[in-house]
Structures are given as structure tokens and as C-alpha cells.
Structure 1
Amino acid sequence: MRDNHVTSENKSFVQEIVQDKYGPPALIKGVATYDQSKREELVKTEKIETEPWTTASRRTGVIARKIGQYPLWLKNGERIRTTLLQIVDNHVVKYIPPELYKPAQVPSVAKLNSYGCLLVGAESCDPSTLTKEYCGLFKDSGLLPKKHLVRFLVSPNAAIPVGTPLNVTHFRVGDYVDVRGKTVDHGFQGVVKRHGFKGMPASHGVTKTHRRPGNIGGGGEKGRVWPGTKLPGHMGNRWRISKGLRIWRINTKYNVMWVSGSAIPGSTNGLVYIYDTILPLRKHKTAPPFPTMFDQTLEGPDDIWFDAVHNFKDETITFQPEE
């Protein structure tokens, strides 16, 4: 909706229509969205027969925001650093079976023809702020338009009905996940910051070369700059994956998970994508919620802790005296 062609009265009328259809804006699980009860009547959920999980199954991923870092303590007193990831209003928008999925850019995945595509959207927004063509992507599903859309490769037995919400119960504490994000953009940087070079001495005859790379061995038969030589250049703004991160804690009230490490790619409040890990020794040994956790009404604790983590609500860590 273009502001220069719409009067203030028409804007108010459009907002009333949107709120009558989808409900008023609301803060649900810490995420700005629209009232869920209004939207459930419009969502066109299709029924898909579920199949049992196998070790060859590939589940969908989710879209999350990196909201910060926080320390946790194990029961043996060890301190670990974790990163908080919040799954933000995810819904399944569309499923494309393997025989119809023909991506324009072919991903480097083995046996691509055996996987389908699941289109997942995150963060509902006001449809009056988007184009008619973009809103048409959500017409068949009945969902409110999403700010972000991501395609996930899934095995046919892991297909999820359109309109199904995805939240943090898609994973379990103790499981391992891979997190994909875009690193912070640092622009053009020298070798000291980009590659951690020591640099030249600060004095004793050194002039104007304190932070330069020095000799790169370009003489003799080499006579050129070999590919892969560490030199100044653009730093950051690259897609990177942190693999094999354990989930230590889950909060179902705000859809937040605590995962290992403090070097997950991306800036604070940036988007990341979470998958089941592909590391062979850290894959699922038992069946996870497959293809996802459908029952959203299960009553349970807001915080779910891994067995080895000290719960802050429990007593302080104590040690038995040595005999």
C-alpha cells in the first residue's frame, strides 16, 4: 500500500479490515504477531499421513533469532558459555514433493532427488505493508504474510501439513543441532584483524610496515601470488555453519533454547537457521518429535533442563567431604 496514494481515512479502514480478519496485534511468546485464535480459523491445514521415523529421515529446520549469550553451570561446577536462540512465530507455508521440486540453484546435497522442499515462514506482519504478489504466496495456506521465508530440504516421510506451527518443542534437550547464519560484516580489513597476523616490530628501523603482511614468498620459481594466500580483503558477511551444538536448556514459554558456544555466526537479533546436526556421531539415536511436535496443548514445565546442567531453582551446588 503506497502512502502517497492513500488517505488517512482509507488507512484506518484497511487496518480495521485486517484486524477483523486476523485479529489485533499481540505479543505472543515474546514475539510481536497477531492473535492466534483469530488466525486458526483461517489456516487451511491439510492432513498428511505420518510415517515412523528412521535414521535416514531428514526433518525440517526452523527460523530463529540470536538474542544474546548466557552462562550455565554443570552439576560438577563447570561453567559453560551458551547462546540464546528464540524461534519466532514459525509456520509451514508450502510443501513441494521431490518429483516437483526443481530448484534454480542446486544445493550441494547428496541424493537431492530424494528430498522434498518445505517452505517455512517467520514473523507475521501487516499485509497492507506488502505487495499484492507477495501476499499471494500465502493465499492457499490462509496464513498471515510472513517477513521471512526459508526453504528446508526434508525427506518425504517428514512432510508437515501446511499451516502447522513450529516451536521450540521441535527439539529436545541433549540433542545436537547445526546453526547457520551470516557473519558480522567488518568491511575491508588488513591481515592483522582478518587473519590474526602479528605484524612487524614497532621500532628498530621499521618504517610504515607495522601492520603489513610482510614477505609472501613470491620469488624464485613461484613468481606469483598463490591462490589461498592470506592477504587483506573483505571480512565477514559470509554464510557459515556451526555444527554439533548441544541443547542445554529449553524455555517453552518464550520459545527459547540455550545451545553450546558463544561464536554462533551473526549479530545480536540477527536471523539464524537451526537444523538437526549432520555429524554422524551426534545424530539422533532415538526418534525425535517426528515430523514435529503437533500437540501444542501439552502441559509441562516452562523450563526444561539437561540432566547435567544445574537448575537455578534447585539448591546450590554442594560437594561431599572427602574421607
Structure 2
Amino acid sequence: MKGIIGKKIGMTSIFEPNGKQTACTIIEAGPCVVTQVKTADTDGYQALQIAFGDRKEKNTPKALRQHFSKAGTAPKRIVRELRNPDSSIEKALGEALTCEIFAEGEKVDVVGTSKGKGFQGVVKRHGFSGVGESSHGQHDRQRAPGSVGGSSFPSRVFKGMRMAGQMGAERVKVKGLRVVKIFPDKNYILVSGSVPGHIGSIVLIQN
């Protein structure tokens, strides 16, 4: 696996060489620093620990400051692991990962946290159509959930019943997004379509 941590900048659209207009998400990908190289001998598995985003030293615990100092880098905000790293990103401690590990036209997966929408009803959360229309004596039933279980049997509500509740703010992975364009001078990667999260949220691009 190869990957990089990035920050969602926003959306735009570009014209491709065939003249087709494509909606894209701009992600500021890296540069990330390799802060730990895990091996099967020392840790029981192979992984690369990468870090992104500067963090004030005074707000960083001493243990973390020493951890980052081993890699010869300043304290970082976001730390992620890449399990079983690809041979194309074999990096030593303290080396940098940039957006150039990906190529235009490559398919990637983007992991992020979706926008939180608070407590929502069944119509918005699950796509229910409501109980009925606003005629024939029904009162305020357009967005109601309807019956949720039996009376004497089973005398309870089954687990997993689709009901109103907290919506959003969940880990979401969008698969198979195409890398449309790369701007190495700005560390920008443009991927086709939308990715989860608000503007400025942290995402992980992986393949």
C-alpha cells in the first residue's frame, strides 16, 4: 500500500484533453515525513508511520517531541500508519513523501470523516417517504417513521431498526477515484468527484 495524508482545499472543475469537463476535489497532499519505520522483527508487522501538519512545540507532550526528534523533524499534528508499504515508497526515517508518489490517471481511495449533520429524522437519515399525505384526517404525519414493532409479540423493538438519530461525522472511504491532475509545486492532487469532509478536513489518500 502507498498513501499520503492531505487536507481538503475545495472543489473545482477542469477540462480534460478530450474536451470533457470533470468535477474535481483539490487536496493538498503532503509533504509528509516518515517518523517511524516498523518491521516484522521489531514490531511484528511492516508499516510506515507518516506525519503531516505543523504543531507548536509548547503544545506537544515531551514523549511526542522526542519521538519526532528521532526523525529529525518538528512536531506534527496528524500521524497515520501505512500497513505493508509499497516498494515504490520505501523511505528511511526522516525522509519526505510528496504527491508525486501518485501518477495522473491512477485510481485511489480517499478516507475522511463526513460532515456531521446532528440529530436527524428518518426521512433525511434513511430516505423514508413518511406515513401518508396531509389529507383524510392525518395530522403532521408527512415525515413520521411509522410503526417500529409489534405489541404483545415480540414486545420489543429489534436491534438495528432504522430510526431517527445522529447522522454524519463517520469515517467514510470513497473508492476508485481517478487522479485527474497533479501540481507538484503546490503539492496539489486533483481527484475526480467529491471526497468526505468539510473544507480544511484531513483525508488519507491511499492505493
TM-score relative to the length of structure 1:
0.58
- Assess, with a 3 A threshold, how the Cα gap between structure 1 residues 77 and 220 changes in structure 2: closer, same or farther: farther
Which of the pair is proportionally richer in strand? 2
1:134 is aligned, of 43, 59, 64, to 64
Count, aligned residues: 205
1:98 is aligned, of 40, 49, 52, to 40
Deviations 1:69-116 (CA, angstroms, capped at 9, x unpaired): 1112344443321111111331111111023325xxxxxxxxxxxx41
Distance 2:125 2:72 in 1: 47
Helix, strand or coil for the counterpart of 1:83? strand
Structure 1 residue 64: deviation in Å? 0.3
Distance 2:42 2:151 in 1: 55
2:98 is aligned, of 149, 167, 170, to 167
Query: Where does structure 1 lack aligned partners over 5 or more consecutive residues?
Result: 1-57, 103-114, 277-323
Query: Where does structure 2 lack aligned partners over 5 or more consecutive residues?
Result: none
**Considering only aligned residues, what root-mean-square deviation do their CA atoms show, in Å?**
2.2
Q: Is the 8 A contact 1:65 1:85 kept in 2?
A: yes
Which residue of 2 is the match for residue 306 of structure 1? none
Distance 1:82 1:121 in 2: 25
Structure 1 residue 210: deviation in Å? 2.5
Distance 1:166 1:139 in 2: 18
Is structure 2 residue 50 aligned with structure 1 residue 152? no
Structure 1 residue 213: deviation in Å? 1.2
Is structure 2 residue 192 aligned with structure 1 residue 260? yes
1:183 is aligned, of 86, 110, 114, to 114
1:89 is aligned, of 20, 28, 31, to 31
Helix, strand or coil for the counterpart of 1:70? strand
- Assess, with a 3 A threshold, how the Cα gap between structure 1 residues 77 and 229 changes in structure 2: closer, same or farther: farther
Distance 1:156 1:165 in 2: 15
Helix, strand or coil for the counterpart of 2:43? coil
TM-score relative to the length of structure 2:
0.88
Q: Please tell me the residue identity of whatever aligns with 2:41.
A: E
Alignment of 1:225-244 (within 5 A): 225-244=157-176
Which residue of 1 is the match for residue 182 of structure 2? 250
1:271 is aligned, of 184, 202, 205, to 202
Distance 2:196 2:204 in 1: 11
Which residue of 2 is the match for residue 32 of structure 1? none
Is structure 2 residue 147 aligned with structure 1 residue 215? yes
Distance 2:150 2:24 in 1: 44
Which residue of 1 is the match for residue 129 of structure 2? 198
Deviations 1:167-204 (CA, angstroms, capped at 9, x unpaired): 11011000011100111111211111111222232343
Distance 1:132 1:183 in 2: 32
